[in-house]
Copies of this chain bind each other. A is one copy, B any other.
Amino acid sequence: MAFSFSPIRKDPKTGARTGIVTTPHGSFHTPAFVTVGTLATVRALSSQDLNDLGVEVALANTYHLHLRPGGKIIGKMGGLHGFMSFQKPLFTDSGGFQAFSLGFGMEHGTGKIGGFFPDEGFQKQPQAEKWARVDGDGVTFRNPITGEKTRLTPEISIRIQHDLGADIMLAFDECTSPLHDYSYTKESLERTHRWAERCITSHKKNRKQSLWGIVQGGVWKDLREESARFISSLPFEGYAIGGSLGDKSKTQMHDILEWTVPLLEREKPVHLLGIGAVEDIFNSIERGIDTFDCVSPTRLARHGYLFLTPKSGGSPENKFRMAIKHKEYQLDKGPIDRHCSCSTCKTYSRAYLRHLFLANELSYFRLASIHNLHFFLRLMEAIRESIGKGRFLQLKKAWLG
């Protein structure tokens, strides 16, 4: 079955809506948290774990997989679905974000739209030394594994994404930094728009995979509006909002969503790239976002931060999480969250998880990642249910106050 999106229920008071996305590998419900599995694995978890958790959709990173093991190899192994043994809908990004995070993002010390998350897999470089250079035709990266130069263009990105075989592909774009001025952002946006057209041309004969366009334009209203209008004029099957903002720019994110989402064709799904904080999820769903992806549940788990529902003390003040390293948990026989039904909370105590974390035991990373992913997946279920019942704002208030 080819790609389709069916909105189901629109919240009467906000832009929030539920829907269902259908792909050749089955369906997923929106709003959806798209679990990130950068290198064809969600870190520390198996595909069986993802199935047990009820993960409906995941995302892998084209740039990272291009470096290793390479799209050709994954293509020969039956694509990402065969390679990972995960038969559910998958996204791939385009590699465009790395053009930013290894280029200007590194130079400017900034990161993706939800705040700066340097990618763990790469060495941090002095700000002055860029790992990627953008030109009109594409991006030249230095391969951090081999040191060799690697080239990505719209055509190469689409070819790799065809090899990877995800159900949903993203157009190759350039992500700009909040430190870029209007003039650079405008020039970059024109490049991104030309690349979007080239992606569509390259993708033309592929009917199994769905291609979504990316809206850029920095923090400028006219550029964002121009981008939303242009991207929605192209035959994409969905959209993504990209870009980078500094850490303290939540209101800028809200502005960007309010400028762009209403200009996109609303019968198509809209993804927000790299978002994962609880507050951001509520605020962007409220503004019409259907899907997000973020590494934060599993990354924060690995760093010792475990999520808590409001009933168990989670709040905007503590970012809905606790740090398992604290000595107060040394003899704590309770689960991470006594209202959580994940397999970690059903089986292990805070004291045991703290011990595993402090000892850097491998088993910790999986048990913690299971809990955090479960937290986000159940949050999304609750949000979908609230929209279905016309109670989205009440749920938001119960969580955010």
Contacts and interface: CB of A to CB of B under 8 A. Distances in A.
Interface stretch (A9-17, A259-267, A287-295, A360-368): A360-368
Contacts of A43: 361-363
A202 interface: no
Contacts of A39: 355-356, 359, 361
B44 A347 contact: no
A330 B83 CA distance: 11
Interface in A306-343: 330-331, 333, 343
A76 interface: yes
A284 interface: no
A358 B41 contact: no
A356 B74 CA distance: 13
B77 A352 contact: yes
Nearest to A67: B359
A209 to B, nearest CB: 21
A46 interface: yes
A45 B363 contact: yes
Nearest to A365: B362
A245 interface: no
A69 interface: yes
A379 interface: no
Interface of A: 39-48, 68-69, 73, 76-78, 83-85, 330-331, 333, 343, 347-349, 351-352, 355-356, 358-359, 361-363, 365-367
